[in-house]
Amino acid sequence: MKMEIKSLAEFIRKKLKSKVNLSSYDIIGSIAILDIPKELENKKIEIAKFLIAKNKNVKTVALRKEGRSKKFRIKKIKIILGEKTTITTHKESGCRFLLDLNKVYYNPRFSEERLRIAKKVKEGETVLVMFSGIGPYPIIIEKKANPKKIIAIELNKTAYKFALKNIQLNKCSKIELLKNDVRKELQKRRYTQCADRIIMPHPTEAEEFLSYALKCAKKSATLHLYTFKKSDESLEQIIERIKEKIRKINKKTKIEIEECKIVRPFSKNLSQIVLDIKIKN
């Protein structure tokens, strides 16, 4: 009896006779995305055929291109097999998200983290989401919690347009979506002490926006700050760095770090982490 090959790692080991480690890939909607090591470059079509055969919903297989756009964090893909499209609809936590992988940022590996935050939102809260992208945080929060209102701000005009479509697609009614630079938008007086909960999901820049978050935070608000940890740093060192930055912004602000944890590895020397920060004023 022939044994069925169940995983990509097993396919590479048994069918391609290779010891190269390639066990993980992302599936976003109907598109599977791979990072192929050089040793398997000449086997990429065979690998793509296996993924399409093994995953009934996958219609396209693509490779991640080198580099990332700094401004909008977009890492483009190159299709190698299947339907020639970078547009797909992805399901996460019972919600649907339409997106173009070559024009917007979206990371499916944050699905558990987005759901974790949504479950923390209390009834009647006003939630502010900076850098809201195609809308995963605000939409999942509305569908999984019962906030009063969600303010979502996004600068990328293409992500903003997809977010508008996703708000309609998921029949959301509590999201105020704004296309603007976070700095410019949050300078407006209307945002002073407006939010019970503030989400800052841009790890390369979020710390630079702490002053805006503190301006917008109500006296007992919670901040969810995403940032990076170097391999030679401890979580305690990062906590002290954030506390010092907050002291410099406003020495009267008292905070408590409710949680600080690694969300996922980012590169060989970097990990993405989240700090749940409670304002204690």
DSSP 1: -
Give residue 23's pLDDT.
66
CA–CA dist 146, 212 (Å, integer): 25
Q: What angle is formed at CA 8 by the lines to CA 99 and CA 52, rounded to 5 degrees?
A: 50
Contacts from 245-250 at CB under 8 Å and sequence distance 24+? 245/207, 245/210, 246/210, 246/214, 249/210, 249/211, 249/214, 250/214
The third-level CATH classification (topology) of the domain covering 108-279 is Rossmann fold (3.40.50)
Question: Which residue in 131, 130, 127, 133 sits closest to 163, CA to CA?
Answer: 133
Per-residue pLDDT reduced to its tens digit, 32-46: 999 988 899 899 999
Structural domain boundaries of the chain? 8-85, 108-279
Give residue 5's pLDDT.
82
Residues whose CB is less than 8 angstroms from the CB of residue 15 and which lie 6 or more positions away in sequence, other chains included: 5, 46, 50
Per-residue pLDDT reduced to its tens digit, 44-89: 999 999 999 999 999 999 999 887 776 778 989 999 999 999 999 9
Question: Which residue in 251, 193, 255, 190 sits closest to 225, CA to CA?
Answer: 255
Give residue 187's pLDDT.
95
- 32 bridge partner residues: 27, 61
Q: Report which residue type is found at 170.
A: N
Q: What is the CATH number of domain 8-85?
A: 3.30.300.110
Distances (CA, A) of 222 to 3, 15, 76, 125, 217: 52, 51, 34, 11, 8
SS3 276: strand
Residues with pLDDT less than 50, the chain: 1
pTM of the model: 0.93
Give residue 17's pLDDT.
87
